């Protein structure tokens, strides 16, 4: 039986991966390991929290003893590693927090896997990474799996370092591993510090929409459930030692996304057209702001048969409705209430 340790399962992407695996694979045991930082929230997993094949362990990946124990207690066969500090702006103010969780935490997890899997055959360590490791595309083209690493922010440097450690462990200790590097995700459960949920929240409450610089930076957006199905494909059919880029073939300038959100929300909220656009406020640019990311996802498309299922406008519509319908979730994650919810459910 597979007993899969999914780290960061209470976060944005992790919660969608956990839900997909718990429901789709009733014969697998899914262990969600998460220390519940500000970005982790068990309310994201309400639909599966009582499933018999689901277990939650509140553990920090910096805690080596607890990692060893969880491998042993649950006889872990495979790892899908998503736990990370994920916000670029926070990495600019506190780079060491990113070194600790993203680099040291990943090495701790690799060590736990290496010592528990005496024979690495039949086991897989899957590291979920980002397209930001490739740097910034300032003059056209796409990131492919062979684009040299050129991280530009403390966040992307920490993710690049962790990717390198995963590859080094595969080479040195013969660990089976796969890495996927994905573009910007959006959708339900994303903490409202990231561009899309931040704007939805601020439009709803008539607050300024902070656009960095001139809003001309470009990102390639993918609906989070499509990322989860890509992770499912890579986990089951990816070739050991390989990297897969995941993206939406869906590039947008930030300012165009903000306009789109304003238009859609004016419609949905019954506001006069143009009302929300007045909230747009150009602010100081992010330090070292990468200009453009764009993924060439043809390898995963051709080799594993994956492609995104949702058009952007449809995904944005669903996302706006989700945030409007989940105002309590927003209040919990942005206030101390979430701690109360956690204590009431888990008693510690
Ligand atoms: P997130 O910030 O929403 O969630 C991260 C989760 O990790 C949270 O539940 C948090 O509690 C947990 N965590 C953080 N530090 C931990 C620690 N020391 N020990 C245990 N748990 C810890 O992040 P996300 O946006 O869901 O991203 C998940 C992964 O996917 C990250 O590795 C990120 O680099 C990668 N990624 C994200 C995107 C994106 O657009 N969000 C795109 C590509 C790749
Ligand atoms: O590309 C994948 C990466 O995408 C992931 O690895 C990261 O974990 C994830 O956070 C995301 O990084 P970005 O920095 O691209 O996402 P963010 O939502 O923070 O910003 C998107 C763009 O919008 C970026 O160009 C900065 C800009 N921005 C962001 C915020 C929060 C603004 O203009 N204003 C804002 O308030």
Closest by Cα among 5, 61, 58, 56 to 28: 5
Kindly report, residue by residue over 273-289, the tens digit of the pLDDT.
Answer: 999 999 999 999 999 99
Looking at residue 338, what is its pLDDT?
Answer: 72
Domain 3-189+221-249+289-310: CATH superfamily is NAD(P)-binding Rossmann-like Domain (3.40.50.720)
Residue-wise pLDDT tens digits, 14-63:
999 999 999 999 999 999 999 999 999 999 999 999 999 999 999 999 99
Structural domain boundaries of the chain? 3-189+221-249+289-310
Using alpha carbons, select from 279, 254, 268, 257 the residue that is nearest to residue 320.
Answer: 268
Indicate if the pLDDT at residue 291 is higher than 70: yes
| Ligand 1 centroid – CA 15 distance (Å) | 10
- Say how many Å lie between the CA of residue 262 and the centre of ligand 1: 28
With a 6 Å cutoff on the Cβ, whether 231 touches ligand 1 is no
Ligand 2: residues whose CB is within 6 Å?
86-88, 130-132, 183-184, 194-195, 198, 210-212, 217, 219, 254, 286, 293
Catalytic residues: 131-132, 155
pLDDT digits (tens, 9 = 90+) for 159-214: 999 999 999 999 999 999 999 999 999 999 999 999 999 999 999 999 999 999 99
pTM of this structure: 0.98
């Amino acid at each position: 039986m597979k007993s899969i340790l999914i780290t960061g399962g209470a976060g944005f992407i992790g919660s969608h991966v956990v839900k997909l695996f718990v429901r789709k694979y009733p014969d697998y045991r899914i262990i969600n390991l998460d220390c519940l930082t500000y970005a982790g929230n068990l309310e994201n997993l309400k639909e599966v929290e009582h499933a018999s094949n689901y277990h939650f362990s509140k553990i920090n990946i910096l805690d080596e003893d607890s990692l060893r124990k969880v491998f042993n207690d649950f006889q872990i066969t495979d790892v899908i590693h998503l736990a990370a500090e994920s916000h670029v702006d926070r990495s600019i103010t506190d780079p060491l927090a990113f070194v600790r969780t993203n680099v040291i935490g990943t090495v701790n997890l690799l060590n736990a896997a290496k010592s528990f899997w005496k024979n690495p055959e039949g086991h897989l360590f899957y590291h979920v990474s980002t397209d930001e490791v490739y740097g910034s595309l300032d003059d056209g083209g796409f990131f492919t799996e062979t684009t040299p690493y050129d991280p530009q922010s403390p966040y992307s440097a920490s993710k690049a370092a962790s990717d390198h450690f995963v590859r080094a462990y595969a080479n040195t200790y013969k660990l089976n591993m796969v890495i996927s590097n994905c573009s910007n995700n959006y959708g339900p459960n994303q903490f409202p510090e990231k561009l899309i949920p931040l704007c939805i929240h601020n439009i709803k409450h008539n607050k300024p929409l902070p656009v960095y610089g001139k809003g001309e930076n470009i990102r390639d957006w993918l609906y989070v459930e499509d990322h989860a199905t890509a992770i499912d494909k890579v986990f089951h059919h990816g070739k050991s030692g390989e990297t897969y880029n995941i993206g939406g073939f869906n590039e947008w300038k930030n300012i165009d996304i903000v306009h789109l959100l304003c238009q859609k929300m004016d419609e949905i909220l019954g506001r006069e057209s143009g009302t929300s656009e007045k909230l747009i406020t150009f602010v100081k640019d992010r330090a070292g702001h990468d200009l453009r990311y764009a993924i060439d996802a043809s390898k995963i498309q051709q080799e594993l048969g994956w492609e995104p299922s949702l058009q952007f406008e449809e995904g944005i519509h669903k996302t706006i409705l989700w945030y409007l319908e989940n105002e309590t979730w927003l209040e919990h994650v942005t206030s101390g209430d979430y701690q109360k919810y956690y204590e009431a459910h888990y008693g510690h």
